[in-house]
Structure 1
């Protein structure tokens, strides 16, 4: 009896573990409540980047 008997079970287990890791990476802060303050969204970053007044002083 060789490895060929166990590869389907190990493949399913590997896919399950990889799936759990991917779900935790994507939804981990919401599921586990690990972060109290979420990262700003892309729109908030753009607003901060373009909302500053530009001033030029020639010395």
Structure 2
């Protein structure tokens, strides 16, 4: 009987595993407390990069 359901089970398992991986990549440090210091937000480091002066030698 299992031979009928294995494609659906495999597809569901694949989506579940991919979903867990995506959640851990996105919110892993907040959920698991793996990082002691939070990374700066994207807008913060973009402003710092653009504020640097460019010199030509």
- The answer to whether TM tops 0.5 is yes
Higher mean C-alpha displacement, 10-19 vs 34-43: 34-43
Query: What are the ranges of 5 or more consecutive residues in structure 2 without an aligned counterpart?
Result: none
Distance 1:34 1:17 in 2: 20
Q: Which runs of 5+ in 1 are unaligned?
A: none
**Considering only aligned residues, what root-mean-square deviation do their CA atoms show, in Å?**
2.3
Structure-1-length-normalised TM-score: 0.69
Q: How many residues align?
A: 56
Greater fraction helix: 2
User: CA 1:54–1:11 in 2, change beyond 3 Å: closer, same or farther?
Assistant: closer
Q: TM-score, normalization: structure 2?
A: 0.71
Name the structure 2 match of 1:11.
11
Q: Output aligned runs, 1:1-59, within 5 Å.
A: 5-52=5-52
Higher radius of gyration, 1 or 2: 1
Flag the 1:5–1:49 CA change in 2: closer, same or farther, 3 A: closer
